[in-house]
Amino acid sequence: MSNELTEKGYRCYTGENIDVYFNTAMCQHSGNCVRGNANIFKLSRKPWIMPDNASVEEVKRVIDTCPSGALQYREK
């Protein structure tokens, strides 16, 4: 499944228990991610997505608010 996402233009941000995938071309800039949890998603940081900065449940909760589908996740 992860290969399918990267083939579709998603970039992988690897965490210990969950990987986060982001597709910049799909992003509608709703801001739900950065407002949802700035510990995970912070635009001024490189990398801007850090899956290990919150629980797996919290990562999933925030990503599930993404209206465009630009953010996806795969639990390990």
Q: What distances in angstroms separate CA 65 from CA 20, 22, 26, 61, one per listed residue?
A: 14, 14, 14, 7
Domain boundaries, the chain: 2-75
Count of CB atoms within 10 A of residue 16's CB? 9
pTM of structure: 0.94
Count of CB atoms within 10 A of residue 40's CB? 23
pLDDT, one tens digit for every residue, the chain (76 residues): 678 999 999 999 999 999 999 999 999 999 999 999 999 999 999 999 999 999 999 999 999 999 999 999 999 9
Answer positive or negative: Cα dihedral of 37, 20, 60, 27.
positive
Q: Which CATH architecture has domain 2-75?
A: 2-Layer Sandwich (3.30)
